[in-house]
């Protein structure tokens, strides 16, 4: 009994001790639960208060050219908002100053959104070329976050130059290589050809073309990343026909006895003319004239005419220079006397020469031989022979011959034979002839009559 009483007394004492401390177990458990709830509520409130919206931002295209050509005149800014927030979208210039407000929305719900920018400012002016930032700011309950995307404004067309072509080019070969220069990153196209031309990191490019005969217009386009386009056109003419040339002098296979000959002709459209590799002056109409010194014998003349693209026409002539007089020989001697009135004149000269005998043309054989019957007059006769070769050189011979008729010789011989009979008639003739002469003289004198009167 004493032990039970003692135990009961101990329990009573512990309860009294607990009551004396102020909290019961139940009270402690309740307070602990309330504290945990308060902590959770505070943490939730603090988390909500300190939370930051999440943003993802992008702009396409990244380069625009707001010049009204309907090619990349604006960019689209896309952003994703993770939770409700106050959203402000601004355009910042290269110096970081806001030049345009694209959007300002209070308590914008979470989601995906798109805003466009056409390159203008709040003042309605076009922004100058440069690098801009499209900034999105999302503000939560106590904090804000900003994300931006870069956009470049480029309204300048890319440079484009065809470095190896003149404005108008004439060619003689159909294979054409075009070398050009533009800005790095540009796209180069040929008009009518879909495939782009490769451009290196320094903006250089090469185009291979096969040209048809005649004129071709080459049109090359270069477009930069902003859509600005530069267009260059060049006219290229393929000429494969050699230039025309007409030689008016000399004739081919011409003979001459002059040491200088004139080479003349006309070559319309020629850029250069040479005679035996010597340059010749060209007149505006393409006419040319050149004096060429010849060498004795055969002279080859080569006339080359070159047009502006390098096509060449060639005309050749062969000219013979001969300055020596032709040979000439006859079969009669000077001073010869002939009994017959017709003689056969023969001679020899250079083959191809022309022979005149007393101004009469005589045929010459291929060996240079000629002959002609000549009719002589009684007495002295002069025979003039002239030969002219193909080069114009002249040789002459003059022969004097006599013709004595056989009839006249017989009369003279008979007179001489009768001379011995003349003495028998000489005395009467010697008396008669002086008497006749005296009478003739007297009758030819004037007679004076004198009359006398007493």
Kindly report, residue by residue over 91-133, the tens digit of the pLDDT.
999 999 999 999 999 999 999 999 999 999 999 999 999 999 9
pLDDT of residue 1: 41
Question: What's the average model confidence in pLDDT over 271-291?
Answer: 96
Token pair in block for residue 89: 């979208």
Q: What residues form DSSP beta bridges with 88?
A: 104, 137
Assigned CATH class of 55-153: mainly beta
406 pLDDT band (50/70/90 cuts)? confident
Q: What is the spatial distance between Cα 157 and Cα 163, in angstroms, rounded to a whole number?
A: 18
| Beta carbons within 8 Å of 91's beta carbon, 6+ residues apart | 98, 99, 100, 101, 102, 117, 121, 127, 132, 133, 134, 135
The two structure tokens encoding residue 420: 């011995």
The per-residue pLDDT for range 222-252, each reduced to its tens digit, is 999 999 999 999 999 999 999 999 999 999 9
Mean pLDDT is lowest, of 29-43, 67-81, 91-105, 235-249, for 29-43
Q: Among residues 371, 380, 382, which one has the least CA distance to residue 345?
A: 371
pLDDT given for residue 439 in this prediction: 66
In angstroms, rounded to a whole number, what is the distance separating the alpha carbons of residues 351 and 328?
A: 11
Residue 18 has pLDDT above 50, yes or no: no
Split at pLDDT 50, 70, 90, the class of 419 is low
DSSP one-letter code for 197: B
The arithmetic mean of pLDDT across residues 385-406, rounded, is 94
Q: How many C-beta atoms lie closer than 10 Å to residue 177's C-beta?
A: 10
Contact criterion met (CB below 8 Å) for 317 and 301: yes
CA distances 85 to 74, 80, 110, 115, 142, Å, are: 27, 11, 8, 17, 10
Mean pLDDT on 19-35: 65
Q: Tokens 């008016």 correspond to what residue?
A: 248
pLDDT at 168: 75
Give the integer Cα–Cα distance in Å for 222 and 89.
34
Q: Above pLDDT 70, what percent of the chain? A: 80
Q: Do domains 55-153 and 246-321 have the same CATH topology?
A: yes
Cβ atoms within 10 Å of 448's Cβ, excluding its own: 5
CA nearest neighbour of 308 among 267, 270, 266, 265: 270
CA 240-242-281 angle, to 5 degrees, is: 130
**61: preceding bond cis by omega (within 30 degrees):** yes
Report the C-alpha gap between 113 and 34 in whole angstroms: 44
Verdict on whether the full-model pTM lies above 0.95: no
Q: What is the SS3 assignment for 193?
A: coil
Q: Does domain 160-238 match CATH 3.40.50.300?
A: no
Q: Per-residue pLDDT tens for 161-217?
A: 999 987 778 889 999 999 999 999 999 999 989 999 999 999 999 999 999 999 999
Q: What integer pLDDT is reported at residue 27 of this predicted model?
A: 66
Residue 393: its pLDDT value, please?
97
Q: What is the CATH number of domain 246-321?
A: 2.60.40.10
Pairing relation of β-strands 63-64 and 144-153?
parallel
Buried residues in 132-155 as b, exposed as e (16+ CB within 10 A): bbbbbbbbbeeeeeebbbebbbbb
Tokens representing residue 319 in the block: 């000219």
Count of CB atoms situated within 10 Å of the CB of 116: 10
Alpha-carbon distance values, 426 to 289, 415, 417, 418, 439 (Å) = 89, 16, 16, 13, 20
The topology (CATH level 3) of 328-406 is Immunoglobulin-like (2.60.40)
> Given pLDDT bands bounded at 50, 70 and 90, which one contains residue 365?
very high
Residue 49 pLDDT more than 90? Answer: no
Least confident window among 160-164, 343-347, 377-381, 432-436: 432-436
Task: List the domain boundaries for the chain.
Answer: 55-153, 160-238, 246-321, 328-406
């Amino acid at each position: 009994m004493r032990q039970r009483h003692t135990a009961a007394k101990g329990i009573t004492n512990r309860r009294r001790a607990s009551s004396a401390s102020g909290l019961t177990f139940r009270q402690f458990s309740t307070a602990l639960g309330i504290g945990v709830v308060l902590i959770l509520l505070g943490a939730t409130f603090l988390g909500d208060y300190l939370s930051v919206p999440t943003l993802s931002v992008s702009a396409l295209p990244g380069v625009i050219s707001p010049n009204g050509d309907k090619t990349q005149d604006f960019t689209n800014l896309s952003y994703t908002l993770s939770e409700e927030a106050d959203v402000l979208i601004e355009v910042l210039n290269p110096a970081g100053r806001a030049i345009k407000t694209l959007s300002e929305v209070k308590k914008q719900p979470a989601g995906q959104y798109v805003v466009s920018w056409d390159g203008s400012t709040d003042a309605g002016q076009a922004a100058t070329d440069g690098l801009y930032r499209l900034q999105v700011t999302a503000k939560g309950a106590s904090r804000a976050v900003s994300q931006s995307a870069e956009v470049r404004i480029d309204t300048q067309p890319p440079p484009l130059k065809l470095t190896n072509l003149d404005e108008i080019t004439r060619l003689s070969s159909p294979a054409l290589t075009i070398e050009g220069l533009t800005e790095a990153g540009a796209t180069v196209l040929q008009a009518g050809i879909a495939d782009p031309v490769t451009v290196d990191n320094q903006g250089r490019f090469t185009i291979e073309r096969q040209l048809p005969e005649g004129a071709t217009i080459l049109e090359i386009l270069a477009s930069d990343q902003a859509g600005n386009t530069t267009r260059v056109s060049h006219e290229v003419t393929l000429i494969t026909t050699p230039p025309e040339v007409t030689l008016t002098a000399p004739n081919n296979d011409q003979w001459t006895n002059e040491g200088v000959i004139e080479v003349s002709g006309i070559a319309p459209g020629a850029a250069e003319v040479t005679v035996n590799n010597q340059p010749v002056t060209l007149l505006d109409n393409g006419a040319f004239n050149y004096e060429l010194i010849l060498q004795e014998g055969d002279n080859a003349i080569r006339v080359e005419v070159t047009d502006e693209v390098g096509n060449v026409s060639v005309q050749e002539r062969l000219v013979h220079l001969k300055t020596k007089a032709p040979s000439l020989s006859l079969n009669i001697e000077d001073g010869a006397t002939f009994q017959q009135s017709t003689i056969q004149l023969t001679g020899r000269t250079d083959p191809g020469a022309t022979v005149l005998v007393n101004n009469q043309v005589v045929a010459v054989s291929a060996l240079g031989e000629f002959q002609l019957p000549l009719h002589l007059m009684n007495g002295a006769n002069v025979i003039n022979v002239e030969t002219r070769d193909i080069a114009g050189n002249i040789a002459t011979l003059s022969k004097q011959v006599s013709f004595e008729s056989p009839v006249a010789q017989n009369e003279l011989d008979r007179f001489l034979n009768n001379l011995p009979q003349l003495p028998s008639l000489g005395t009467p003739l010697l008396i008669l002839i002086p008497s006749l002469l005296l009478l003739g003289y007297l009758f030819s004198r004037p007679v004076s009559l004198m009359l006398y009167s007493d």
